[in-house]
Homo-oligomer: A and B are copies of this chain.
Amino acid sequence: MDQTQDITIQVFSLNCWGVRYISKHCSQRYDIIADTLLREEHDIVLLQEVWSEKDYLFLRKKLASSHSYSHYFKSGVIGSGLAIFSKHRIQDTLLYRYSLNGYPYMAHHGDWFGGKAVGLAVLSIGPLTAHVYVTHLHAEYSRHKDAYLPHRVVQAWELQQFIRHTSAGADLVILGGDLNMHPQDLGTRLLRSYTGLRDAYTEAQTFEGCEDGLTLVLDNPFVSKKEVAPFEKGIRIDYILFKGSGQADIQCTSMSTTQGSIPGHPLPYSDHEALTVELRLQAQTAMEGGGDSMSTSGRCSEDVAKVVDIVTEVRTEVKVGIHCAERMRSTAARTGTMGLALLLLELAIGAVPWLALGAEQTFPLTSFYLLAVLCCTILLSTSMLYIFYTMELKSLQGTEDQMRLAMGGLQDKLWGCQSPGAQTACSQRKPPEGLEPTLSCAEDQ
C-alpha cells in the first residue's frame, strides 16, 4: 500500500566572500549571516567561500540551536571553503577535488590554492534520502579572454560525473553553489542536461528578488563595477538546482534572492546575493527500490541528442585546452633548455682559466654568481612548470578519454531510443553490428 506524505524544505545558498583581512567587513557580515540563519531556520544551508575554519566554527556555535548538523569540507592548502548546515541528520559525506583548478603562479587569482571541490552530504529527511551537493567552480576573470575556460569546463564535467555516479540511491538531489557560469554557458547546459537537474529560478512558481535572478548585481556596494559593467545590471552565476526520483515528486514553490542590500542591516551578506528556495516534496513510502530510475528518466531521443551535442561542444573546448597546455609545456621546455645551455656556457667560460693553470680569472666573480643563480632559477622554475603542465595535460586528456567513452554510451542510448518501440530497452539494447565500428572510428583519434 502506498502512502503519500508532503514535506516542505527550505534551502539557502550563499557565497560568503570570506577572505579574512581582505574581504570587507568580514566578521561583521558573518554576524549578520549567523543572525539571519538562526532566525529563518532553513532546513539546509549551503555556504561557499568560508575560507577560514574559524568562521565555520563561529557559525557552528551560533547555529547550534537551529542547525544541529553541519560539516566543513577540508581540502587543499587553504580549504575548499564549502560548508553545510542542516536541521536534518547528515548521514554521510564525500568530497571530490577537481583535477584542474587554475595555475599556482596566478597567485593573485588564488583559485589554485583554494583546492576547489564538490562536497556531498547524505541527509535523511523524513523517510527520504537527500543527496545534497555544494560546490564552487573556478572564477571567470575575463569573459572575452577567458584563459580558465577549459579548466571550468572540466570542473563542470567532473561535477556532473560525480553527481550522476553518486546519486543513484537518492530520492532527492539538491545542488547549491557558485558555479561561476552564466545560465546559457556550456558548463551549465552540460550540467543540467546530463544530470537532469532543474534550475530553481526557472521552475519556481513565485519569484522575488533581483531581475532575471541575477546574483552579482551593481546595486551591491561590494561588487566591482568594472567587473559587472559589461553585463548591464549584473550576472547570474549562483544556482540552486534540484531533481526528484521515483520515490519523491518535487516542486519548487518559491524562490527569492537578496537585492544588493538587506532591509534593517547596514551591510549586505556578501558581494554575491543569497538564494532561498522552497521545495515541496511528495514522498511515497512503502515502495521498494526505484532509486535508479532517475538516472535514465526523460532521457530518450531528444534529451539524449541534446546531451550528445553538448558533450561534443565540451570536447572541442577541452581539446582547445589540450593544445594550449601542450604549447605552454613546450615553451617551458624550450626556456629550460636555454637556461641549461646558458649555465653550461658559463661553466665552460669559467673553466677556461682554471684549465689553463695559472692564468687569471677574467670572469668577474659577482657576475659569475649572479648569472649562475639566474640560470638555476630559470631551470628550477621551468622544471616545475613542465611538471605542472604535464599534470594539467594528463587531466585534460583523461577527461577527453572519459568523454569519448561516455559518447559511445550515449550514442548507444540514442540508437535504442530511435528504434521504434525500443524506449524501455534503452540501456540494454545493442546497436547493430554495422553501426558500432563506424562510431568507434569517428570517436577514436
> What residues on B are CB-neighbors of A369 within 8 Å?
369
Report Cα–Cα, A290/B76, bound state, in Å.
37
Residue A168 at the chain B interface, CB threshold 8 Å: yes
27 A-B pairs, CB-CB below 8 angstroms?
A74-B394, A75-B394, A75-B395, A75-B398, A76-B391, A76-B394, A77-B387, A77-B391, A89-B408, A91-B409, A91-B427, A92-B165, A92-B405, A93-B401, A93-B402, A93-B405, A93-B406, A94-B165, A95-B398, A97-B99, A122-B409, A165-B165, A168-B168, A168-B292, A169-B291, A246-B289, A289-B292
Contact with B along A408-436 (1 / 0, CB 8 A): 11001000000000000001101000000
Residue A336 at the chain B interface, CB threshold 8 Å: no
Q: Are A395 and B74 in contact (CB under 8 A)?
A: yes
Contact with B along A387-399 (1 / 0, CB 8 A): 1001100110110
Residue A353 at the chain B interface, CB threshold 8 Å: no
Quick one: closest B residue to A390, CB to CB?
B77
Quote the shortest CB–CB distance from A105 to chain B (angstroms).
Answer: 15
Quick one: closest B residue to A165, CB to CB?
B166
Of the candidates A75, A93, A406, the one having the most CB atoms from chain B within 10 angstroms of its own CB is A93
> What residues on B are CB-neighbors of A97 within 8 Å?
97, 99
In the complex, which residues 370-399 of chain A have their Cβ closer than 8 Å to any Cβ of chain B?
Answer: 387, 390-391, 394-395, 397-398
Residue A187 at the chain B interface, CB threshold 8 Å: no
Q: Are A405 and B71 in contact (CB under 8 A)?
A: yes
Residue A261 at the chain B interface, CB threshold 8 Å: no
Residue A185 at the chain B interface, CB threshold 8 Å: no
A365 contact from B162, B290, B365, Cβ within 8 A: B365
Quick one: closest B residue to A393, CB to CB?
B74
Contact with B along A272-298 (1 / 0, CB 8 A): 000000000000000011111101000
Q: Please give the residue numbers on chain A whose beta carbons come within 8 Å of chain B beta carbons, in ascending order.
A: 71-77, 79, 89-97, 99, 115, 120, 122, 124, 126-127, 129, 161-162, 164-166, 168-170, 246, 288-293, 295, 365, 369, 387, 390-391, 394-395, 397-398, 401-402, 405-406, 408-409, 412, 427-428, 430
Given contacts A168-B292, A169-B168, A409-B92, A127 and B428 within 8 Å (CB-CB): yes
Q: How many copies of this chain?
A: 2
> What residues on B are CB-neighbors of A71 within 8 Å?
401, 405
Of the candidates A92, A120, A164, A390, the one having the most CB atoms from chain B within 10 angstroms of its own CB is A92
Report Cα–Cα, A312/B311, bound state, in Å.
43
A79 contact from B164, B365, B394, B409, Cβ within 8 A: B394
> What residues on B are CB-neighbors of A427 within 8 Å?
91, 124, 129
Quote the shortest CB–CB distance from A277 to chain B (angstroms).
Answer: 24
> What residues on B are CB-neighbors of A129 within 8 Å?
427
